[in-house]
Structure 1
Amino acid sequence: MVKAVVLGASGGIGQPLSLLLKASPLIDELALYDVVNTPGVAADLSHISSVAKITGYLPKDDGLKNALTGADIVVIPAGIPRKPGMTRDDLFKINAGIVRDLVKGIAEHSPKAFILVISNPVNSTVPIAAEILKAAGVFDPKRLFGVTTLDVVRAETFTQEFSGHKDPSKATVPVIGGHSGGTIVPLFSKVSPSFEIPADRYEKLVHRVQFGGDEVVQAKDGAGSATLSMAFAGFRFAEAVIKASKGEKSIVEPTFVYLPGVAGGEAIAKATGLDFFSTPVELGVSGAEKAVNILDGITEREQELLKACIADLKGNIEKGVEFVKNPPPK
């Protein structure tokens, strides 16, 4: 039996993500939680003829507790998009507070669950989650993941003409670092099966992987962001975690993890000077079983990208930790 929970299930990412999870034969029970509209979303999805039994909860009547109790995997897309006149710092404080409060609920009601954080900024919200779990005495680094799969999905898609695969996901394109702008580092030198990126296309492809989200925002005329592709990426990673937890072998996915708590992570932490970093991770029954270090042999240009990533990512991580240790006044 697998119980999956979506926290933030009524939003732009939450609804399509919940649809994909409801359709998955791997999930027996699906609980949806949000501050509005969840019973309606659950009722709509309940008419789909798939395995998962579905329930929807609001904050009233211990909704968060009921949603989380017995959870095996919890996916968190909760948060708000940036609105006109809102600074990035305003957005950070709101979404950071949302993630903090939800993870407190997880620590209390489902501390053994795999936790998949989608809520932006992932570079800061994952450290926030780690600090909350540490304070509650239930932090297991192997069970906390920042979902960076959309960067990988974009890299696979944008390089399809060079990989030659009808299904772009058949190419392995490692993307490391973080999950925003210049912290996203595609390692085109490490693609498998190998293929070449023409020199005159390289910089544009790197930029497109790093800032692909801007394309979607512009195409939606500022009325939305990458919700459908993010839902797909979140589902793809959740499915990988579930399959690995059921004993399937050789599942490796890049994800943003706490390096000191994952086997193999210390070497990457030493090389980067960072505690959190997205790198290919071998998944297993206990979660993140091994962090794979693919930094050796990267090109000079990739080294430059990594250097810029580390500088930005360090500040993002510190911001998340500081938010928990010294909360801003309400």
Structure 2
Amino acid sequence: MFARTALRTLRPQARLFSSSAPARTKVAVLGAGGGIGQPLSLLLKVEPLVTQLSLYDIRGAPGVAADVGHIDTASTVRGYTADQLDQALDGAKVVVIPAGVPRKPGMTRDDLFNTNASIVRDLAQAVARVAPEAHLLIISNPVNSTVPIVAETLSKAGVFDPRRLFGVTTLDVVRAARFLSEISGQDPTATPVTVVGGHSGVTIVPLLSQSNFGKSVTGEGWSKLVHRIQYGGDEVVAAKDGAGSATLSMAYAATVFTNALLRALAGEEGVVLPTFVKSPLYESEGVDFFSSNVELGPEGVKKIFPIGQVSEEEQKLIEACLPELKKNIEKGKAFVSA
């Protein structure tokens, strides 16, 4: 039982494997055979709020299902191949989508667009057809564009509910807490940082001034920390030397968010964390999707919180974020309209 006990102590403050809520549900992972999908499937198999785990990919998902299915937790697991997407989605309440090609050295998230955009659109069409009331968690990059793609695709099908669509930006939050803890000498549980904006480069805006320890970081130290949070993925791509991108940490971060959503869907109150959703915060500036602190509830998005007070330097980060984010969002919408 050591492994399971260790997993449950990964991040107590996030209550990653909390069992306080009694409800359990079917979760589908689309892209379960990939670099993110496999560890994500493992972590979700240990998640007590999952009754059924449905794993789909064009190849490899039945093998992943057979492997994680041997883990001694209560949930059942089934794998589905390329022509079984509808079966994989049938009855799913939460659908997590990490499907797509990984980022390689020298490749920006924007470079991933054409391939991943088509994959995400096709999967969203299937969700609209089979599980229109499911909550969708989008991991596939570039999230700033793929989330609008899913929204437009669901809208075309007449089933878009903005409360049920989430871009998973939790990895930025996880990195911010970890990187700040290295500077402060504190445990990461003591150094949470709200990260707003989007999920790539300059669109990632860590609000360090709102953190007890982050507000003490100034000058060059602040600039270096912000840059590391914004471009932390590049460290992993370089370290893997062409063999992949941030898959394990992304799977962990996605599980943190999935657990939070499952708890909220089960009725737990006060579940708040940043996520990229359809938002009114900067809609007047043409940015209708934005990541900020969101309270989750039984229907998905319950409340979108304002950014709050920020420093002069953070305001400049937001001003740099918005035009880039607007461009990313428009690119996603245009792909569906073409």
2-structure distance, mates of 1:120, 1:317: 13
Say yes or no: does 1:286 pair with 2:324.
Answer: no
Contact 1:171/1:191, CA 8 A, preserved across alignment: yes
Say yes or no: does 1:196 pair with 2:216.
Answer: yes
Partner in structure 1 of residue 243 of structure 2 = 223
Superposed counterparts of 1:49-68, under 5 Å: 49-60=72-83, 63-68=84-89
Instruction: Select between 84-93 and 117-126 the one with higher mean Cα deviation.
Output: 84-93
Q: 1:235 aligns with which of 213, 230, 255?
A: 255
1-structure distance, mates of 2:29, 2:238: 28
Q: Which amino acid aligns with 1:177?
A: G
Say yes or no: does 1:101 pair with 2:113.
Answer: no
Secondary structure, in 3 states, of the residue corresponding to 1:28? strand
Contact 1:162/1:195, CA 8 A, preserved across alignment: no
1:165 is displaced (CA, Å) by: 3.6
Partner in structure 1 of residue 310 of structure 2 = 298
Contact 1:173/1:192, CA 8 A, preserved across alignment: no
Secondary structure, in 3 states, of the residue corresponding to 1:79? coil
2-structure distance, mates of 1:18, 1:169: 25
Contact 1:75/1:117, CA 8 A, preserved across alignment: yes
* 1:183-230: CA deviation from partner (whole Å, max 9, x where unpaired): 100010112577511433100000000000000111111211000000
1:14 is displaced (CA, Å) by: 0.2
Q: 2:270 aligns with which of 250, 258, 263?
A: 250
* 1:79-121: CA deviation from partner (whole Å, max 9, x where unpaired): 0124689886663111000000001011111111110000000
Superposed counterparts of 1:1-330, under 5 Å: 1-60=24-83, 63-82=84-103, 91-162=112-183, 164-166=185-187, 168-192=188-212, 195-259=215-279, 266-270=280-284, 272-294=285-307, 296-326=308-338
1-structure distance, mates of 2:138, 2:31: 11
1:169 is displaced (CA, Å) by: 3.2
1-structure distance, mates of 2:49, 2:145: 30
Structure 2 vs 1, CA of residues 290 and 14 (structure 1 numbering), >3 Å: closer, same or farther?
same
List gaps (5 residues or longer) in structure 1. Answer: 260-265
The Cα RMSD (Å) is 1.8
Instruction: Select between 228-237 and 198-207 the one with higher mean Cα deviation.
Output: 198-207
2-structure distance, mates of 1:89, 1:49: 40
TM-score norm. by structure 1 comes to 0.91
* 1:279-319: CA deviation from partner (whole Å, max 9, x where unpaired): 1000111111111102x421111111111110110100000
List gaps (5 residues or longer) in structure 2. Answer: 1-23
2-structure distance, mates of 1:85, 1:211: 13
Secondary structure, in 3 states, of the residue corresponding to 1:293? coil
Partner in structure 1 of residue 9 of structure 2 = none
Structure 2 vs 1, CA of residues 274 and 84 (structure 1 numbering), >3 Å: closer, same or farther?
closer
1-structure distance, mates of 2:242, 2:157: 39
2-structure distance, mates of 1:222, 1:322: 31
Contact 2:103/2:245, CA 8 A, preserved across alignment: no
1-structure distance, mates of 2:211, 2:104: 38
1:171 is displaced (CA, Å) by: 3.0
TM-score norm. by structure 2 comes to 0.89
Q: How many residues align?
A: 315
1:174 is displaced (CA, Å) by: 0.6
